[in-house]
Amino acid sequence: QQPVQSPQAVILREGEDAVINCSSSKALYSVHWYRQKHGEAPVFLMILLKGGEQKGHDKISASFNEKKQQSSLYLTASQLSYSGTYFCGTESVGNQFYFGTGTSLTVIP
């Protein structure tokens, strides 16, 4: 029931773009995205709701494909501050909520 994230890890140079995918085997009501910097607590980025509503955050945006039970997080023109581990959280029937295993993103100068 835990959503699957891909890739597990990615290394980028400043200014490059990245896409992180989150896939579930269950029909989803919403997808949440969080970022966790090393040694810190996860921090909320955005929520995507059933119906295709897409909410962006600065140069980070996301999409939600309900039919495929997938969400993708798009990081555009990455900055050093984007480094961290990104988690998706998926909500399905009965308000069951699970976090994915995470994607480690490293941005280098």
Partner 1 sequence: DAGITQSPRHKVTETGTPVTLRCHQTENHRYMYWYRQDPGHGLRLIHYSYGVKDTDKGEVSDGYSVSRSKTEDFLLTLESATSSQTSVYFCAISEGVTTTGTETQYFGPGTRLLVL
**3-state DSSP of the chain:** CCCEEECCEEEEECCCCEEEEEECCCCEEEEEEEEECCCCCCEEEEEEECCCECCCECCEEEEEECCCCEEEEEECCCCHHHCEEEEEEEEEHHHEEEECCCEEEEEEC
CA distance linking residue 53 with residue 80, whole number of Å? 28
Q: Select 64 or 82, whichever has its Cβ closest to partner 1.
A: 64
35 forms part of the interface with partner 1 (CB under 8 A): no
43 forms part of the interface with partner 1 (CB under 8 A): yes
Report 14-33 residues binding partner 1 (CB under 8 A): 29-30, 32
Report 58-77 residues binding partner 1 (CB under 8 A): none
Q: From the CB of 13, what's the least distance to partner 1, in Å?
A: 26
Q: From the CB of 51, what's the least distance to partner 1, in Å?
A: 9
Q: Which residues bind partner 1 (CB under 8 A)?
A: 1-2, 29-30, 32, 34, 40-44, 47, 49-50, 87, 89, 91, 95, 97-102
